[in-house]
Amino acid sequence: LVTGAAGMLGTEVVAAFEGVGDVVGVDVDDFDIRDADAVERAIRDLRPSVVVNCAAYTDVDGAESERELAFAVNADGARNVAAAAKLVGARVVQLSTDYVFDGSKAEPYEEEDTPCPVNAYGDSKLAGEDAVRQSGADFLIVRTAWLYGHNGQNFVETVLRLAEETGALRIVDDQEGAPTNARDLAEVIRELVSADARGVVNATNLGSTTWYGLAVAILEAAGIDGVDVEPVPTTALRRPAARPRYSVLSLAKLSSLLGRQPRRWHEAVREYVSERQ
Ligand SMILES: NC(=O)c1ccc[n+]([C@@H]2O[C@H](COP(=O)([O-])OP(=O)(O)OC[C@H]3O[C@@H](n4cnc5c(N)ncnc54)[C@H](OP(=O)(O)O)[C@@H]3O)[C@@H](O)[C@H]2O)c1
């Protein structure tokens, strides 16, 4: 069972599992994960062996003013999904984020590092992780970052749209992370489930850059010249939510579980841009 199946990652997760068994994708029109009874009914009916919970409140800036809603979906919703999974003996795969960290480290975050979110979204996702851990369900928490995919609004699409509309971009160059292709991540989730991985596992594409570095790579990949890309500090954009300055996740555990490293972020971005063209 894949929740959030109409979202950016959920769409790819459904596709990744289609080759290996029966997959049912559901989204908010089927049931709301905030509704514990509806979640339990659906999961009891279906009796899945694995539930991948991709449903989430994902508006990082919006969460600052909609904190209750973010917690209702990301914490209570995750608790409901995990509790129902436990009832039928299913394993739950909970998606989480690099934004559980404050960004004060200068080297990649290990799974065991102590989370300390700097925004409401990160707080709500960390509460979701805790709820899943405490549910008693068999669980895997996959922390990922900076996602883009063909089925959702994301930074790659925004850069290409703004390049076309305005010909000039101001992009933050003091946040570093790992851009991650949703299709690559979905494949990794499938492999982790096959490998019986449990606990917390970081999963992104390999390497890191800033949003500025990513924007330049996107324009290069799209063959767009003559766009003025100005690097600016985070403070220049006055966004409601604070962001970690550095949120690169260590991939050592993932690589040892998979027996391979994920693709480099740059290669994955190039492929995504050429597919959409
Ligand atoms: N995007 C990123 O850069 C990023 C980075 C790190 C981690 N993550 C995590 O990765 C996961 C997938 O993210 P994504 O980018 O694929 O998100 P997304 O595109 O926003 O998809 C989430 C899906 O969940 C649905 N949903 C929202 N509230 C729901 C509810 N109460 N009940 C049932 N379904 C609900 C959404 O429907 P509506 O669209 O109708 O609201 C949407 O279809 C999330 O856990 C997210 O926190 C994302």
Whole-angstrom Cα distance, residue 127 to residue 79? 9
pLDDT digits (tens, 9 = 90+) for 134-189: 999 999 999 999 999 999 999 999 999 999 999 899 999 999 999 999 999 999 99
Mean pLDDT in residue range 201-216: 98
> What is the reported pLDDT for 19?
83
**pLDDT above 90 covers what percent of the chain?**
98
The 8 Å CB, 24+ separation contacts for 163-166 are: 163/219, 163/222, 163/224, 163/227
Whether the CB of 211 sits within 6 Å of ligand 1: no
Phi, psi of 220, rounded to the nearest 5 degrees: -60, -50
Please check the confidence at residue 277 and state whether its pLDDT lies above 90.
no
**Ligand 1 binding pocket mutation candidate from 1, 28, 185 (most atoms within 8 A of CB):** 28
What residue owns the CA closest to ligand 1's atom 43? 7
Least Cα distance to 170 among 253, 227, 88 occurs for 227
State pTM to two decimals: 0.98
pLDDT digits (tens, 9 = 90+) for 252-261: 999 999 999 9
pLDDT digits (tens, 9 = 90+) for 27-59: 999 999 999 999 999 999 999 999 999 999 999
Whether the CB of 23 sits within 6 Å of ligand 1: no
Just list the catalytic residues: 121
Atom of ligand 1 nearest to the CA of 180: 3
